[in-house]
């Protein structure tokens, strides 16, 4: 099923649901389909820590990554590498996107908060699996571009907000899961507060050369934390840079 985005520009972005071919840009006539299939087989299934979740693999096969990167790097859209998307930001390599998604254990009824919309690719992958994605982007140009691209692709269950993601989206909380695609030096307390009991968060934490991807579970008053992968993400900017935690 095709999914979509809403929002209001001037800090918010809202669009009505889009109707169209349920196969859309990722359908049988898509000339990029073979590249996506090869990406899933070789990059996601061919590693020692292979991605196993069928829903994640199906989403990665379907979402047209080439439609969510700048035209000048489109030929590399399915390569095993991060790509620049402008404004000093990058889109993670496909394996990292799939790995983070799988670690969240997304379920069809989940409501997920994403911090760091970027190109909109991670939000689109999640939107193929969960009921709703709310995504925050601090760079206004990236928020606007992602909103436009996701609307064009027919996504209707993604809501994008231009804001500082450190404080999350409190009026829409609580969330079943939170995914953060930029690295603060410590886990922001407001994001933890916006997780439901039993909720999961995956977030890169640490300074530029010493980041670890941390998986958190909120178990009553206890926060279970596990380092799952060494990574290198762009730093979280805005309030996170002020040293608040």
Residues with active-site annotation = 92
Q: What are phi and psi of 185, to 5 degrees?
A: -80, -20
β pairing state of 83-86 and 195-205 = unpaired
How many Å apart are CA 141 and CA 124, to the nearest integer? 18
**Cα atoms in the 13 Å half-sphere on the side-chain side of 105:** 8
**Region for residue 213 given its phi and psi (left: phi exceeds 0; alpha: psi -120 to 50; beta: otherwise):** beta
Q: CA distances (Å), 194 to each of 77, 97, 143, 191, in order?
A: 33, 22, 22, 5
Which residue do the tokens 């047209």 mark? 64
Q: What are phi and psi of 134, to 5 degrees?
A: -115, 130
Q: Count CB-CB contacts under 10 A for residue 108.
A: 8
How many Å apart are CA 199 and CA 28, to the nearest integer? 36
């Amino acid at each position: 099923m095709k999914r979509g985005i809403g929002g209001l520009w001037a800090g918010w972005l809202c669009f009505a649901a889009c109707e169209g071919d349920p196969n859309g840009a990722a359908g049988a006539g898509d000339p990029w389909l073979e590249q996506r299939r090869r990406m899933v087989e070789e990059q996601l299934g061919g590693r020692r820590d292979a991605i196993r979740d069928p829903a994640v693999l199906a989403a990665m096969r379907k979402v047209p990554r080439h439609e969510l990167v700048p035209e000048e790097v489109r030929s590399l859209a399915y390569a095993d590498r991060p790509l620049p998307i402008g404004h000093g930001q990058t889109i993670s390599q496909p394996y990292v996107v799939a790995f983070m998604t799988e670690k969240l254990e997304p379920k069809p009824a989940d409501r997920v908060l994403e911090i760091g919309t970027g190109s909109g690719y991670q939000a689109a992958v999640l939107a193929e699996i969960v009921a709703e994605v709310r995504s925050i982007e601090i760079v206004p140009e990236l928020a606007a571009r992602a909103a436009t691209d996701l609307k064009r692709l027919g996504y209707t269950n993604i809501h994008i907000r231009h804001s500082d993601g450190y404080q999350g989206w409190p009026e829409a909380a609580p969330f079943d899961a939170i995914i953060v695609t930029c690295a603060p030096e410590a886990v922001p307390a407001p994001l933890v507060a916006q997780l439901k009991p039993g909720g999961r968060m995956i977030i890169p934490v640490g300074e530029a050369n010493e980041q670890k991807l941390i998986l958190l579970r909120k178990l009553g008053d206890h926060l279970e934390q596990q380092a799952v992968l060494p990574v290198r993400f762009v730093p979280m900017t805005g309030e996170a840079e002020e040293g608040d935690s």
